Amino acid sequence: MSVDYDVTVIGGGASGMMCALRCARAGLRVLLLEKEILLGRKILVTGNGRCNFTNINASGDKYYGDGKFAETVLKIFPARACLKFFDDLGLLYREEGEGRYFPITGKSASVNDCFAAALLFAGADIKCKCEALKAYKAEGDFKVECSDGAKYCSKFLVLACGGAAYPQVSGSMKGYDLARSFGHKIINPRPALSAIDLKENAVSRLAGLKLYCAASLSDNPQQREEGEVTFGAKGVGGNNILTLSRQAQSGDKLILDFMPQFSAAEFKALLKERAAKYPSFKIKELFTGILPAPLYNLLMDYAGLRKNTLLVEINDNIFDRIVSTVKGWPFTVAGIRSFKEASCTAGGVSAGEVSPERCESKLVKGLYITGELLDIDGHCGGYNLQFAWASGYSASEAIEVEYGKSNSKKNKGS
């Protein structure tokens, strides 16, 4: 069976839906293939099911891999244009700090539902539970062989297959295999935006705590990420930790500042003032109302402080020991979690082989590669979805132009 389309989009995630929708709205015959039972499975779990769908601060410096590529794509479809696009889809949303935007319903499904309705209205042909097994170019057109036995033919092909993260909700290596079959180089895919496991067993004493901290890695102290850190039995999570996980390696030191709102001198002065006010109190009472009990109990053990010490007995060296620990507690990275717990993938199709202005392959004319499949990944906080929307938009614009050119040639020749 062979069905002809103008464009086939493989992957019904963020970039694939964006590209398919805009091409369909432009009048192209669009086939959207998705191996899962419904579109946008990964979107449904982003932001803990709330979908932080963009960030107004998205710029090239928020991305790894090829920041200049990301910057070019984001200029074509910046975050403000993204908000306008979702306005037109009928999505209501709100900003929740640090430039992050969420649907007002608090449900990721709202984003998916808006897209699905728009795709159907635009006339896109959507086939779910249909995995692209093989893709190639022959006689000027692209052929796609699918798991349902069907073979599809189109003038343009978009690889929007996503990365390997979250295999339980669509993540796989298949997109890399398809890109590789067209001659593209694949930068080793690895988990990104994942929780960090720590070597210190004592971290289990902090399990369940959520504390606002500044975090950094010892080999890159200039990159300090502030935010709420969640402590588990074996490690830590939270948006700032997820962002740092991209560069974390086993053996690195993860430095946590539990009082980022104070300088070391300010925090020391605060503690000394409290000690002078309550000289007969024991040392643990120095932290009452400042640090939660599990943390200050671990602090006293880690810093070698005697729990029965009176505040009047604390000398300047002990104050310095407390301050240096609270303001720069070093934990040892054991590793980051696997693809099953990673929010996105680092690595992928080499961005140097793709045009940033068009998201078109430099190796194969008419082949477009978008979203997480590329060797570009962003900080935590809506940046990866913004890049996905923008790259899908960029590809659709380029396809529309090429489609117009080819039709113009046909009309002249008739």
User: Measured between alpha carbons, how far is 299 from 256 in angstroms, rounded to an integer?
Assistant: 13
Backbone phi, psi, residue 219, to 5°: -85, -5
Handedness of CA 94, 95, 101, 105 (dihedral sign): negative
pLDDT at 408: 63
Alpha helices in 204-360 (DSSP H): 239-245, 264-277, 293-302, 316-327
- The whole-angstrom separation of Cα 380 and Cα 63 is 10
CA distances from residue 192 to 231, 340, 343, 377 in whole angstroms, order as listed: 19, 11, 7, 8
For residue 84, the surrounding DSSP H or E stretch is helix 79-89
pLDDT by residue for the chain (414 residues), tens digit each?
455 899 999 999 999 999 999 999 999 999 999 999 999 999 999 888 999 999 999 999 999 999 999 999 999 999 999 999 999 999 999 999 899 999 999 999 999 999 999 999 999 999 999 999 999 999 999 999 999 999 999 999 999 999 999 999 889 999 999 999 999 999 999 999 999 999 999 999 999 999 999 999 998 888 999 999 999 999 999 999 999 999 999 999 999 999 999 999 999 999 999 999 999 999 989 999 999 999 999 999 998 888 889 999 999 999 999 999 999 999 999 999 999 999 999 999 999 999 999 999 999 999 999 999 999 999 999 999 999 999 999 999 999 999 987 776 665 554
pTM attached to this predicted model = 0.91
To which H or E segment does residue 151 belong?
strand 151-159
Domains of the chain: 2-190+346-413 (3.50.50.60), 195-336 (2.40.30.10)
Q: Are 233 and 179 in contact (CB under 8 A)?
A: no
> What is the C-alpha separation between 31 and 122, in angstroms, rounded?
12
Q: How far apart are CA 67 and CA 50, in angstroms?
A: 27
